[in-house]
Structure 1
Amino acid sequence: MNNPRYLLIQIRDVDDPIRLQEVGCFADALQCPQESVTVFDLLSTSLNASHLADIDMVMIGGSGRYSVTSDAAWMQKAIVSLERLLESGKPTFASCWGFQALARAAGGKVIHDLQHAELGTSLVTLTEAGKLDPIFSQLPESFEAYMGHEDRVIEMPPGTTLLASTASVAQQAFRFDGLPVYCTQFHPELTLPSLLSRIEAYPEYCERIAQLPFDVFRRQCQAAPQCEALLPLFRDHFLG
């Protein structure tokens, strides 16, 4: 497909320092101009069919200050929008907050768990189903991936297949069976420089999760090129 049209669903404040950076990260990962990516603010607007009518692929990214575990009104509205997204059947790739939000919207369970938080790069290993998956099977059996989360999925929604895990968090990637929807706890839209700039923008994460000064922490992170290959593989599989 020539010049696909993308929708990036964001759950970020207007003054979030990563709001614009995230758009650039997805555009770079998909090797498309930023003008091909329409941004949808899930905090202020409910998603409906008109927002998806001219869209070929949807992405959902991370969140600076919002937890999927919240029961506030904004989260309840977001769940309704995400249910509509799943009903639409649009090819959708969700990472981090999006992974957790789609899991909850479809009947899974998400908790806040600082003990199992991951930040930086972690080794992801494919499940047996992941090794047979048409997209994940094109990656190595184990690969480094970019991480940044304190919440985690502890129960996957019904009608999904687990594709990958880490030593700390079993639920790292899943697909919705019968739908063109894939979700990862890790961030395939990032590169090592964009990961580090994001962590630097949220210094409290480094202090709370890694419990290290940023200059020390950054030396522990490494490039994860196999992780970076995932979004183009997803796009090519579903859009051709």
Structure 2
Amino acid sequence: MRPVLVLTHAAYEGPGLIGPALDAPLRVRTVVDATQPALPALDDVSGVVVMGGAMDADDDLHHPGLPAERALLADAVAADVPVLGVCLGAQLLAMALGGTLLRRHGTEIGFGPVDVHADDPVLGALGPRPTVLHWHSDAVSLPPGATLLASTPATPVQAFRQGSALGLQFHLELEPAMLALWLATPEMAADLSDDELDALRADGERHLPTLVPAARAAVAAFADQVRRRG
């Protein structure tokens, strides 16, 4: 089986539970700051997963690898390669498909529900109104031709599907160890008060026992798509 390409943008924002749940070989690359990114050919991978990061999805000046990531995503969808974009990854996917980045559209940090609007084989594993972790201030418009899957009042596009690609503005990859890492990482937590950090810890203890198994089931559904490509 060909490996799944995983694009990361920060050491503390890895694939989390997505990696083991894929049950496939992974090729992890971080090319966001490379002026000439070395990315595999799509014929050499069975799927593409793009993780989060603190940078803006259109900040090509400071992160010259972003255009290559967006081009790869556009080509992957055109070639019917399974794609999963998470947070920044969803924003890059939306831009690659003709959507617009909406900087500082509205900050969402913490656990909260998303309203599901359409059936999807991957997102559907989370349930009809799942509580998930949000950690973003940017948003995107719905790409032309894409299906809106989920929203919140603050973020009209929380999940979308276009062909082989699924974008999730929220964090599907989260597991307890990753949440603990984020809350201890200054780049993630510096702007949060002690009360906000305590609330995130408490909410994680309450929601992750339900969310983690559902997220693994969702990734397993994506893994089925990857295995069909082989």
Regarding TM over 0.5, the answer is yes
Q: Map of 1:6-85 to 2, 5 A cutoff?
A: 6-12=4-10, 16=11, 18=12, 22-23=14-15, 25-32=17-24, 36-43=25-32, 44=34, 45-46=36-37, 50-63=40-53, 65-72=54-61, 74=64, 75-85=66-76
Counterpart residue number, 1:123: 113
Matched, 1:189 2:177: no
Amino acid of the structure 1 residue aligned with 2:189: C
- Assess if the C-alpha contact under 8 Å between 2:113 and 2:132 holds in 1: yes
The answer (yes or no) to whether the contact 2:18–2:216 under 8 Å persists in 1 is: no
Give 2:139's aligned amino acid.
Answer: R
Q: Supply the AA of the counterpart residue of 2:71.
A: V
Distance in 2 between the 1:181 and 1:56 partners?
Answer: 13
What percentage of residue pairs aligned between the two structures are identical?
25
Letter in 2 for 1:29: A
Aligned residues: 219
Moved more, 141-150 or 70-79: 70-79
Deviation of 1:200 (Å): 2.2
Contact 1:8–1:23 (Cα < 8 Å) also in 2? yes
- Aligned partner of residue 219 in structure 1, secondary structure: helix
Runs of 4+ in 1 over 6 A off after TM superposition: none
Shift of 1:207: 4.6
Give the superposition deviation at 1:210.
Answer: 6.6
Counterparts in 2 of 1:209-228, with a 5 A limit? Answer: 212=195, 214-221=197-204, 222-223=207-208, 224-225=211-212, 226-228=214-216
Instruction: Tell me which of 66, 85, 102 is aligned to 2:93.
Output: 102
Residues 164 and 62 (structure 1), Cα distance of their counterparts in 2 relative to 1, 3 Å cut:
same
User: TM-score, normalised on structure 2?
Assistant: 0.81
Match in the other structure for 1:166:
152
Q: Deviations over 1:115-144 (max 9, x none)?
A: x222232212210xx2x3333344421111
Give RMSD over aligned pairs: 2.6
Query: What SS class does the counterpart of residue 208 from structure 1 fall into?
Result: coil
1:92 aligned to which of 74, 80, 83: 83
1:135 has 2:122 as partner:
yes
Q: Give ranges in structure 2 of 5+ residues lacking alignment.
A: none
